[in-house]
Chain A
């Protein structure tokens, strides 16, 4: 009888070998994904003095390898553009996505290098099994202040759950650009917006 658990274990191992590769990030529940990525990234930040002292290339690399694969920048760009996105040609759209991605990655990295041991609390997820669009709620607890809400919006894709919006204290890092983008487009067209994004991204992030 004692062999049964061992056998079951072996069976489990076989299953995980057979189904292992597909059971990666693609199959993780959205809240588990957010939690895994957050704790992994913050663990690295906590241990890395260079990052905490503002070593920009190092933070950027961390964000590129650990965070960016879970973001859907095309959807973020469309969200930020709103109705004005329709005016963009496919080529302009590709450039916009690329530039907006750079801006968001830099902003996210800057925020990460300001992280100082605050506690992250993960709220229970409200989700039906058929949902393909969810909000994962977290909270940053800090001494001396009200906790700050940090919410992630994720959608289910063939490649797993992808983040398409993030809200800090109810302020979307994506749609907060909408009115200034549309102002720029009204004044100087899609190319005007591309130019101002490019100009912004050319400034040296290390100098700030």
Chain B
């Protein structure tokens, strides 16, 4: 076995181990205080993790994202978002294929080809203009498409809201992530950090709206996450479930 394969296996194991640990912790804490929401059986644990993530965000990630947003001109910011979007498009295509949508998969791979070349390493998204629309897929959605239920809602440290199913998806997403596979450690870490900051900066406007809307930010984000994922699994057309009373 080559060294690279070995490293990948170790990484996969480490990812799996941390997920199992989180799940084990969640079930241990399942007896903690809850408000009886059936989708959120470990609410006590989740609220603690949510507070931890919020603290981390307020102390480090959000201020850095704000500075980043203020310093960089919009075309550069868009270029960075496009660059990472292009890297992600490959596995979005793989997931579309796994979900039995070969047309969409072909379109995603077409995007990678066009944007990596004409779009200069993905910095310009020329594919969208050419009619190849960007999609949003991940392994959690693929499992959902295959009929795997959500499972309990969990807030993971650092990663934020997930369900048990989406946590399993996240492990595969991270293993498949080309950025995390870069062997040159300084380059890899710089890119990983840049991606976090860029993603966070894109969310700054939504932040203000959520603050304005939420009575209780924790449950607003939880319910929004669950609705959003349901929408994504059904590719934007979930069966409507709300009824008037």
Contact = CB atoms under 8 A, between A and B. Distances in A.
Interface string B225-245: 001101110001010001111
Interface stretch (A18-26, A28-36, A174-182): A174-182
A178 B125 CA distance: 39
A167 B236 CA distance: 11
B135 A146 contact: yes
Contact of A144 (B85, B211, B219): B85
A28 to B, nearest CB: 24
B220 A180 contact: yes
Contact of A171 (B135, B136, B227): B227
B244 A146 contact: no
B208 A208 contact: yes
A83 B213 contact: no
A172 B232 CA distance: 14
B78 A144 contact: yes
Contacts of B131: none
Interface in B77-122: 77-79, 81-82, 85
Contacts of B36: 186
A160 interface: no
Contacts of A208: 208, 211-212
Contacts of B79: 144
B90 to A, nearest CB: 15
A179 B231 contact: no
A170 B230 CA distance: 8
Interface in A75-105: 75, 78-79, 81-83, 85-86, 103
Nearest to A82: B245
A144 B82 contact: yes
A180 B211 contact: no
A149 B243 CA distance: 21
A205 interface: yes
Q: Please report whether the interface of chain A is mostly helix, strand, loop or mixed according to DSSP.
A: helix
Interface stretch (A3-11, A37-45, A62-70, A107-115): A107-115
Contacts of A53: none
Interface string A109-137: 01100101000000000000000000000
Given A83-B245, A86-B245, A183-B37, A144 B208 contact: no
B145 interface: no
B219 A180 contact: yes
B126 to A, nearest CB: 12
Contacts of A167: 231
- By size class, the interface of chain A is 35 or more
Nearest to A109: B212
Contacts of B227: 170-172, 175-176
A179 B230 CA distance: 16
B212 A176 contact: no
A144 B77 contact: yes
B229 to A, nearest CB: 9
B202 interface: yes
A208 to B, nearest CB: 5
B177 interface: no
Contact of B242 (A79, A86, A197): A79
A175 B208 CA distance: 20
A179 B37 contact: yes
Nearest to A78: B244
Contact of B245 (A85, A106, A169, A184): A85
Contact of B232 (A111, A170, A186): A170
Contacts of B219: 179-180, 183
Contacts of A179: 37, 219, 223
Contacts of B213: 103, 107, 110, 173
A200 B37 CA distance: 23
B81 A169 contact: no
12 contacts: A78-B245, A82-B242, A82-B243, A107-B209, A143-B82, A144-B202, A145-B85, A167-B231, A170-B230, A179-B219, A180-B220, A183-B35
